[in-house]
Amino acid sequence: MGLISDGTTIFDAGALDSGLAKGALTFIKKLTASGSGTLSFVHGSGGVDFSTHKEYVFIFNNIHAAANEYFTFNMSVDAGSNYNVAKTTTMFNAYHNEGDSGAGVEYVQGDDLAQGTGFQRLRAGKLGTGNDECFCGTLHLFNPSSATFVKHFTAEVSNLENAFEGHTFIAGYGNTTSDVDAIQFKMSSGNIDAGTICLYGIA
What's the angle, vertex CA 91, arms to CA 173 and CA 147, rounded to 5? 5
pLDDT at 17: 53
Closest CA to 94 of 157, 171, 154, 168: 168
The 8-class DSSP code of residue 20 comes to H
pLDDT at 161: 85
Closest CA to 71 of 139, 19, 8, 7: 139
pLDDT at 2: 59
* Average confidence (pLDDT) per 10 residues, the chain, 203 residues: 56 53 82 98 97 97 94 97 98 95 94 97 89 94 97 95 92 98 97 98 92
The 8-class DSSP code of residue 111 comes to G
CA dist 134 and 58 (Å) reads 16
Bridge pairing between strands 114-116 and 87-97: antiparallel
Proportion of the chain in helix, strand, coil states, percent, rounded to 5: 5, 55, 40
The 8-class DSSP code of residue 77 comes to S
Q: For the chain, list the domains and their CATH numbers.
A: 23-79+117-202 (2.60.120)
pLDDT at 103: 96
CA dist 31 and 18 (Å) reads 28
pLDDT at 162: 85
Q: Which residues, at least 6 apart from 88, have a Cβ–Cβ distance to it below 8 Å?
A: 112, 113, 114, 115, 116, 172, 173, 175
**pTM of the full structure:** 0.87
Q: CB-based burial of residue 96 (10 Å sphere; 0-12 exposed, 13-18 middle, 19+ buried)?
A: middle
164, 95 in Cβ contact below 8 A?
yes
pLDDT at 11: 53
Q: Which residues, at least 6 apart from 130, have a Cβ–Cβ distance to it below 8 Å?
A: none
